Chain A
Amino acid sequence: MFDFLKPSKGKRSFLHKQVSTHSNLQKKMSADDVLDSDLSQNTEILQQVFSQAPDLVIRCFSINASKTDAALVYLPGLTNKDAIQNHVLKPLMSSSFELDKELPITIGDVEVVETWGQVESAILGGDSVLLINGQNTGYRLDTKGWPQREVSDPQNEISLKGAHQGFVETGTQNIALIRRYIPHHELMLKEMTIGLRGKTKVSLLYLRDVASDDVLRELETRIQNITVDAIINTGELIEFIEDNPYSPFPQIMLTERPDTAVSHILQGRFVIVLDRSPSVLIAPTNFMSFFQAVDDYGTRWLLSTFIRVSRFLAFIITLFFPASYVAFISYNFEVIPMELLLSIAESRIQVPFAPVLEAVIMETILELMREAALRLPTPIGQTIGIVGGIIIGQAAVAVGIVSNIMIIVVAVTAIASYNIPNYDMSSAIRLLRFPMMLAAAMFGVVGIVIGWMTIVGHLVSLESLGTPYGTPLAPFRFADMKDAFLRFPLWTMKSRPKGTGAIPTIRQGRNRTKR
């Protein structure tokens, strides 16, 4: 029925429609063809175009005053029934008016459509189209009303003090949630459409007088260069636009919290809202920003500094603790004091595996349990804890497959890895601990150091939309360090972070000076 232009032919946006050959209308129809003035002809064409869509409603009625025939076309699942019945059909059928004057439709967004392409995308997009006999134009009426989730607490990013509104699956609503925080005319919105079939709306939000033009241009070209069928979720979009897709580290941040997104916009970053996705993208990012959470700014600065430091400690523990265990047990045992070594040896005496095998087995089981708990429905999910904690933990030690100390290592690593607030970053680090364990098993402490050097070398060579990933550490920016390892009091952060490429305008005045 619909024949898409091949991308290689150059044009990519419009559909080619063909009326099937058995129809009595033998002519071919394209998206640019205009509507006919004869209503019956128009409805016939519509039926042809949507012949595979039995849910299409074509409501034929006559307009009250002039007894003119008219038709309202819509897809019932995508439209708001109440709006159609009370604000379109009712006034049209009951009130008296003159046709050449304005229609008595009480709907905000009404637009005149002329071509079949417009009609089709309007109907498929959830609008309804009003066709009137004798007019060769139709009306697109905004009656969108597809099934929608209520704005609710963000599921994956829990916060104690942040707002309780999370993003939903409708792009316009998400933009509204952001606008509520920044009702300012410099908040810019750029819209693009990607996906030949999916036609996903992508909106870029940023502060025009703050955000960097270079980054904007880079981001725009990268998004416009995407040629795919459809983008289903934000993760796919990231893979198409990020700088180094081979890296384990996320270079673009995902969030489902409007307050987080807004805080990044105010720092001079860009937020990308993808219609139909309950999370938005934040770019450009750096390594440090994945360790910041919205709660840091809501709690007292001493406490949040402490939490920040503990998160970096968690990063170190996740990456190095299992590897160090392997290295110190199997290679450099002279580092451990005698008594401790003896007690470890005692706990390991029954274990048949080499330390690295023991570590890899236990860490893999941990990952399996984590993944299982993630996919299971919540009531059953709790059993994973029981199975994992009691059966695997207790019984495996009792039988002598793993040592007690290994259980401690695995548990501490698991808890530490969950301390990292960003899911993508914490999974990246969890993934990297396996090569680290292997390096430790092969070369001991030297292997760990070489692994660390490789990770650091990779981190400093990464860029996020052309801005350095390692900032504010390398290149060093003192002003940005106020919000890195430590969280300085808010009134001391007078300028926006330079690492985003933002035009370094003053973020705030002299607050709390004389008191």
Chain B
Amino acid sequence: MKKYAFNEITVMQYIFLINGAQVGTGVLSLPRILAEKAGTDGWIAIIIGWLCSVSASIFLVKAAAKYPEDTLYEILIRFFGKILGKVLISVYMVYFAFSAWTILVNACLYIKAWFLPKTPEYIVLLLFSIPTFVIARNGLRVLGRYSELSFYMVIWIPLFLLIPLKDGNWLHFLPLLKEGWRPVLSAVPTTVTSFLGFEVAFFFYPFLQKKQHAVLGITIANTLTILFYVFVTFVCYAYFSPDGIIEFNQPVLNLLKLIEFRFLERFDMVLLAVYLIVVSTAWIPYVYLAPFCFSQLLGKQDHSNYVIILLLIIIGMVFWLDPTWNDSEGWQKMVVKGGLGLAFVAPPFLWVYSWIYEKFRRRVSH
């Protein structure tokens, strides 16, 4: 009966997969971007963004729950026929591949800037692709386990952010809403995009063991993300002055620089290197999903060869394009546009469409 009995994931793995896909390098610059738009009230925008993403996530789960045993591929083909369905799934595939590309490039640029300034980009990406391949060539279950274990391994990182907090000044937050709601609302689009990543849940839903907890799971995943974002933003705002924070490109890293022990100077280097694990849980689901879609398009069972091909393409592109921070930012904007469509527009649309489809089909069959 169950098609994916050997690849089932637990609710915990579902939560950590989604949470992992959401949290990447974006949070390092998030406090600065929010401060530019909404000053120290930026954290309110995160909460509003969370509300948006949670409601979109619930729509998404509801839409996926219509056909609980089907992957999105099968649902789309059922709804729109073979040709249009395949075109739509290719859209998802391209989006996933492009997301994987931007996250990998972004991570590569960070690593280059902080650790390996003289190493060529493609070598760094080659390095990234070793663990990526080891994990993504397996089924979703292994992905889930990896995300789960990674979460436990990095859960101590926020604790170190508490150290600079002792020099923080809580007066920075007062008065609340000093310039009214308008700047806060203007920052909401940014925060909404920082929650992108939950759209992968659409593909993971059929593999979920206890589907009755899907809504709870995706809400918890979003909540974990917002807790982390709000915490980081709070610490940054408390420590940096409202004007000073705008001067730093990635205020979180500047914050980490302050952490120092008698036996370890520049502890931020270690932290940032370990943070790579967090970033890896963001790119690995995408590196898995794009070949997964492709193998479904071709009707193949095994997707591991396509993982190699995708990674080789990414390495080749990096070698050829030699991306810079500006390129990366441009690509990120494109991904965000696509992501907004696939994560916030597509699920409600599919949900409504499935209602109509069911009614229509029932009428035909009667």
Contacts and interface: CB of A to CB of B under 8 A. Distances in A.
B131 interface: yes
B131 A454 contact: yes
A475 interface: yes
Contact of A474 (B145, B266, B270, B277): B145
A448 interface: yes
Most buried by A among B127, B128, B264: B127
A475 B10 contact: yes
Given A445-B270, A449-B274, A468 B145 contact: yes
B276 A449 contact: yes
B12 A457 contact: no
Contacts of B152: 473-474, 476
A474 B12 CA distance: 9
Given A456-B150, A460-B149, A470-B149, A476 B265 contact: no
B153 A456 contact: yes
Interface string B126-165: 0110110011001000101110111011000000000000
Interface string B264-305: 111101100110110010000000000000000000000000
B115 interface: yes
Interface stretch (A328-336, A348-356, A363-371): A328-336
A264 to B, nearest CB: 23
Interface string A446-480: 11111011101110110000001010011110000
Contacts of A470: 145, 149
Most buried by A among B264, B265, B277: B265
Nearest to A445: B273
B119 interface: yes
B280 A446 contact: no
A449 B134 contact: no
Nearest to A469: B145
Contacts of A331: 115
Contact of A446 (B135, B145, B273): B273
Contact of A335 (B128, B138, B265): B265
A160 interface: no
Given A447-B127, A458-B134, A461-B142, A476 B150 contact: no
B233 interface: no
Nearest to A446: B115
B265 A450 contact: no
Contacts, number: 101
Interface string A209-244: 000000000000000000000000000000000000
Given A456-B146, A470-B145, A475 B127 contact: no
A340 interface: yes
Interface in A169-217: none
Contact of A450 (B130, B144, B146): B130
A335 B150 contact: no
A457 B111 contact: no
B288 to A, nearest CB: 12
A453 B138 CA distance: 15
B116 interface: yes
A448 B111 CA distance: 13
Contacts of A447: 127
A423 interface: no
A120 B70 CA distance: 61
Interface in A293-339: 331-332, 334-338
Nearest to A458: B134
Interface residues of B, number: 37
Nearest to B114: A446
Given A337-B265, A340-B263, A475-B13, A454 B130 contact: yes
A449 to B, nearest CB: 5
A443 interface: yes
Contacts of A335: 264-267, 269-270
Interface in B230-248: none
Interface residues of A, number: 30
A337 B146 contact: no
B3 interface: no
Contacts of A166: none
B262 interface: yes
Contacts of B135: 457, 460-461
B273 A475 contact: no
Given A335-B266, A457-B135, A448 B273 contact: yes
B148 A474 contact: yes
Given A447-B127, A457-B134, A334 B269 contact: yes
A336 B270 CA distance: 11
A332 B148 contact: no
Most buried by B among A443, A453, A458, A475: A453
A337 B267 CA distance: 10
Contacts of B116: 443-444, 446
Nearest to B129: A450
Contacts of A460: 135, 142, 145-146, 149
A337 B264 contact: yes
Given A336-B265, A445-B270, A456-B153, A475 B111 contact: no
Nearest to B277: A453
A461 B138 contact: yes
Interface in A459-515: 460-461, 468, 470, 473-476
Contacts of A461: 134-135, 138, 142, 145
B115 A444 contact: yes
Interface in A390-435: none
Contact of B149 (A332, A448, A474): A474
A249 B12 CA distance: 26
A450 B126 CA distance: 11
B263 to A, nearest CB: 7
Contacts of A448: 273
Nearest to B284: A457
A448 B152 CA distance: 18
B116 to A, nearest CB: 6
Nearest to A448: B273
A473 B273 contact: no
A345 to B, nearest CB: 15
A457 B269 contact: no
Contacts of B274: 449
Nearest to B147: A474
A457 B131 CA distance: 7
B111 A446 contact: yes
Contacts of B270: 335, 445
A404 to B, nearest CB: 18
A335 B265 CA distance: 5
Contacts of A449: 273-274, 276-277
Given A446-B124, A458-B134, A461-B138, 6 more contacts: A443-B116, A447-B127, A457-B135, A460-B149, A468-B145, A474-B149
Nearest 7 CB-CB pairings of A with B:
A460-B145, A474-B145, A453-B131, A457-B135, A474-B149, A445-B273, A457-B134
22 contacts: A335-B265, A337-B264, A443-B115, A443-B119, A446-B111, A446-B124, A446-B127, A446-B273, A447-B127, A448-B273, A450-B127, A450-B276, A453-B131, A453-B277, A454-B134, A456-B149, A460-B135, A460-B149, A461-B145, A474-B13, A474-B145, A475-B12
Interface of B: 10, 12-13, 111, 115-116, 119, 124, 127-128, 130-131, 134-135, 138, 142, 144-146, 148-150, 152-153, 262-267, 269-270, 273-274, 276-277, 280
